[in-house]
A and B are shown apart, each in its own frame.
Chain A
Amino acid sequence: MILSKIFTSFTFRFLVSYVAWLSVSVFMVLGLIYAVIAYDFFSDVHRSIELELEALSEVYERDGREAVDDFVEVRGGPERLIRFFYFVADSDHNKIAGNLTQWPDAREYRNGWIGFDFESLTNIADPVGNNEFLARSKVLPSGEKLLVARHYADVLGSTKLVAGALTRSMVATIILGTIGGAITAGLSLRRIEHINTTLHRIMSGDFSERIDISGSSGDFRRLSENVNQMLDRIEVLMTGVRQVSDNIAHDLRTPLTRLRNNLSELHDDCRDPANREQVEALIEEADGLLGTFSALLRIAQVESGNRRSGFADIELCTLVSDVIELYEPLAAEKQQQFSTALARVGKFTGDRNLLFQAVANLVDNAIKYTPDGGEIQVGLSVEPDCYRIYVADTGIGIPDDDREKVFQRFFRVESSRGCHPGNGLGLSLVQAVVKLHEGAISLEDNKPGLRVVIRLPRHSKAQQRA
């Protein structure tokens, strides 16, 4: 579980690509260093051969063959650290002087450079090893050919040494880099994980929660502070929006009430029955509007959470059966049957008027959306940690897509607009009441119809406080 989380985490993927890039760049840098060093070594070799050739041609041209033998004696001895081989030949490659027996059978390179294997040289008294030689030849104006050869095993050895050192440092760099990267990434992962869990808690509803910034510093502290500030801002905006709608409802209620009262005075003064009826319709309209505003304000009030003072011990069973008793005649008008399964449960601490309102809204909806002759089931049962109240109908139900939305204020399922009266606030209020009691509400498919389930915790924080 944790392992798979690590493998799929951003940090892990970041680490893998980090190691890949680190390897590539270390390889490139060290490769370049190797190339520069090797080039330096070989240009040293070239230069030394050229200097020897220069000296040889000078000696030969000035003093002739005997001087060359002396020269070779001095400079080509086996005691020298770097061994040079010299050869002077006529135009047909016949030996004139030098410590090589014959013109080597060599590969020609450009600019007079040649290379050959040591085996091609015979009669060498003092072999220097089975190695490659590098040589340079020069044709004198008089037609003789000069050649200076040098083995370069030492240079190859040095380059190999350099290559070995560079490879080892590359491996070390990559290993240390990987470890360092992993530690840094691990630390970041822990911080990100902390931020994530906090954000999850906030998303699940506790908007007062903030990311803990104590103990962190630098970029993460700034990130956390920014997120916290953003959350503060969102909270302000959210309360602002809610407040605006609540204020509108509140401010419009008074003039609406005045309007309604004036209409009712007008109604009393009306002598003409036709006018009277019209005024009555207007009064009903105003009452509907006032009802909507009241519901909106009631939700706001319940959501603000300071209604807990109305909490007292109540009998849920009595409450639910009171709702059924109140609505039974309404259902009977539509030939609907109530089927109830109410368990006698213990005392529950809550606001009886609000809970009555919540269950009444659900039953009201069930009656409204169930066709004539349908059945409405209401149940109350005890579960290990909660009381479960459900209201199920055999009506049109709610499409899956709309299940979450029906709790939004003023949301109404498209098919119910127009054909059923209502203001789209009923379920919002139910949800607010359930939340006030720290419960949960869910919508389930009753096949056919809708089943609304309310779960009220048997031991909530509010209960302990009360």
Chain B
Amino acid sequence: MRILLIEDDHSVADYIVKGLRESGYQVEHVADGKTGLVKATTEEYDALVVDRMLPNVDGLTIIQTLRAANDTTPALILSALGEVDDRVKGLKAGGDDYLVKPFAFAELLARIEVILRRHESSSAVTRLKVADLEMDLLAHKVTRGGETFNLQPREYKLLEYLMRHAGQVVTRTMLLENVWDYHFDPQTNVIDVHISRLRQKIDKGFDRQLLNTVRGAGYMLDDSE
């Protein structure tokens, strides 16, 4: 997997490069918007990580240019703090996700993995399956080992998101943004309670625990032991 990082802050860039390489990605780093745009258009990458504020050409312009040329390479926008409401602008410009600096590396990694996968499986699916847990998206039915679960609408949405990203770490903020559709900082870990409720339903009485907590990062629905 090749990732292009366009970021002018060297300390941030260094630690992203280091982290991504350790996670098994090939990373190329450029510090300038113009070079970044040239690289992004002339070479093939699996994902782009683009800082919003860049010398010469800014991040949003790079993504807009790529999208205008029908380049759908998934892109994650990094933004300095204090520009939270630019999030909408970033997504409108064609970014696939938006992350405010500074961030925990786990958060960045989780988001990169999600946009990479989203790109892979953008085709319409009617059925999700993780181990013996199955979700019928048309009938709104969730079964595991022949047992049907009665889920609340939000629990269903939560499980759907987790199943769509099975095997990936999903952070609490990602859940809030995608399942609840609000971008905010909860004072208490309300998400934990929702997760444990869901776990009660889908994991209780089964040998294999599918819904796992990843300490310091988030959760993962996983069928590998």
Contact with B197, one of A250, A294, A329 (Cβ below 8 angstroms): A329
CB-based contact B185/A329 at 8 Å: no
A330 on interface, CB distance cutoff 8 Å: yes
**B79-87, B111-119, B134-142 - interface stretch:** B79-87
Q: Is the CB of B106 within 8 A of A264?
A: yes
A261 CB-CB contact with B under 8 Å: yes
- A351: shortest Cβ distance to chain B, in Å? 7
- The CA of A260 and the CA of B215, in the complex, are separated in Å by 13
Chain B: CB-nearest residue to A426: B187
**A261 and B15 contacting across the interface, CB-CB below 8 Å:** yes
Is A463 close to B, CB under 8 A? Answer: no
Within 8 A of B (CB), among A393-437: 421-422, 426
Category for how many chain B residues contact A: 20 to 34
Which of B38-46, B123-131, B176-184 faces chain A?
B176-184
Given contacts A261-B105, A329-B193, contact A297 B81 (CB under 8 A): yes
Q: Is B216 an interface residue (CB 8 A)?
A: yes
Q: Are A357 and B185 in contact (CB-based, < 8 A)? A: yes
Q: Given A310-B88, A329-B193, are A253 and B102 also a contact pair (CB < 8 Å)?
A: yes
The one of B102, B183, B185, B186 in contact with A257, judged by C-beta atoms closer than 8 angstroms, is: B102
B185-A294 in contact (CB<8A): yes
Supposing A257-B102, A257-B104, A310-B88 touch, asked if A327 and B190 sit within 8 A by C-beta, the answer is: yes
**Does A388 reach chain B (CB closer than 8 Å)?**
no
Neighbouring B residues of A368 by C-beta, 8 Å: 188
**A114 contacts B by Cβ under 8 Å:** no
Known contacts A257-B103, A258-B15: A351-B85 contact under CB 8 Å = yes
Q: Cβ of A322: which chain B residues have Cβ within 8 Å of it?
A: 180, 182
User: How far is B104's CA from A28's CA once the two chains are assembled, in angstroms?
Assistant: 86
Cα distance, A284 to B193, chains bound together (Å): 17
Number of A interface residues at 8 Å Cβ cutoff, please give it: 46
- Does A309 have its Cβ within 8 Å of any Cβ on chain B? yes
Q: Which residues of B contact A354 (CB under 8 A)?
A: 184
Interface hits, B136-190 → A, CB 8 Å? 154, 180, 182-188, 190
Whose C-beta in chain B lies nearest to the C-beta of A258? Answer: B15
Question: Measured between alpha carbons, how far is A368 from B216 in the docked complex, in Å?
Answer: 23
Kindly name the residue among B187, B193, B217 whose own CB sees the greatest number of chain A CB atoms within 10 A.
B187
A23 an interface residue at 8 Å Cβ cutoff? no
In contact, B185 and A291 (Cβ under 8 angstroms): yes
Q: How far is the CA of A325 from the CA of B104 in the complex (A)?
A: 28
A353 and B188 within 8 A (CB)? no
Q: Point out the residues of chain B lying under 8 angstroms from A257, CB to CB.
A: 102-104
Q: How does the 8 Å CB contact mask read for B7-34 relative to A, with 1 for contact and 0 for none?
A: 0000100010001000000000000000
Which residues from 255 to 275 on chain A have a C-beta closer than 8 Å to any C-beta of chain B?
256-258, 260-261, 264, 267
A200 within 8 A of B: no
Q: Is the CB of A280 within 8 A of B216?
A: yes
Contact of B104 among A261, A298, A351, A352 (CB under 8 A): A261
* A290 proximity list for chain B (CB < 8 A): 104
Closest chain A residue, CB of each to CB of B102: A257
Interface contact B85-A307, CB-CB below 8 Å: yes
Q: Does A301 contact B (CB under 8 A)?
A: yes
Give 1 or 0 for each of B179-210: 1 = CB within 8 Å of chain A CB. Answer: 01011111110100110010000000000000
Asked if A295 is an interface residue, CB under 8 A from chain B, the answer is: yes
Contact partner of B85 (CB less than 8 A), chosen from A261, A310, A426, is A310
Q: How far is the CB of A67 from chain B (nearest CB, A)?
A: 122
Q: Is the CB of A360 within 8 A of B102?
A: no
Complex Cα distance, B176 from A357, in Å, reads: 12
Q: How long is the Cα–Cα vector from A261 to B108 in the complex, in angstroms?
A: 11
B216/A250 in contact, CB under 8 A: no
Q: A379 vs B181: C-alpha distance in the bound complex, in angstroms?
A: 22
Scan residues 291-329 of chain A and give those whose CB is less than 8 A from a CB of chain B. 291, 294-295, 297-298, 301, 307, 309-310, 322, 325-327, 329
Q: Once bound together, how far apart are the Cα atoms of A290 and B82, in whole Å?
A: 15
CA distance A260 to B216 in the complex (A): 9
User: What separation, in Å, do the CA atoms of A365 and B186 have in the docked complex?
Assistant: 11
Which residues does chain A contribute within 8 Å of B88, judged by CB atoms? 310
Residues from chain B with Cβ under 8 Å of A351 in the complex: 85
Q: By the criterion CB–CB under 8 Å, are B154 and A325 in contact? A: yes
Q: How far is the CB of B222 from chain A (nearest CB, A)?
A: 17
CB distance from B158 to the nearest CB of A (A): 11
Across the interface, B190 reaches (CB within 8 A) one of A264, A298, A310, A326, namely A326
Told that A283-B215, A297-B82, A329-B190 touch, could you supply 16 new A-B pairs with CB distance under 8 A? A254-B11, A261-B19, A264-B104, A267-B215, A267-B216, A295-B185, A310-B88, A322-B180, A322-B182, A326-B186, A329-B197, A351-B85, A353-B84, A353-B182, A356-B182, A367-B188
**Across chains A and B, which 8 residue pairs bring their CB atoms closest together, nearest first?**
A310-B85, A257-B102, A357-B184, A329-B193, A353-B183, A356-B182, A283-B216, A364-B187
Query: What are 9 pairs between A and B in contact, CB < 8 Å?
Result: A264-B106, A283-B215, A298-B185, A326-B180, A330-B190, A333-B193, A351-B85, A352-B182, A356-B184
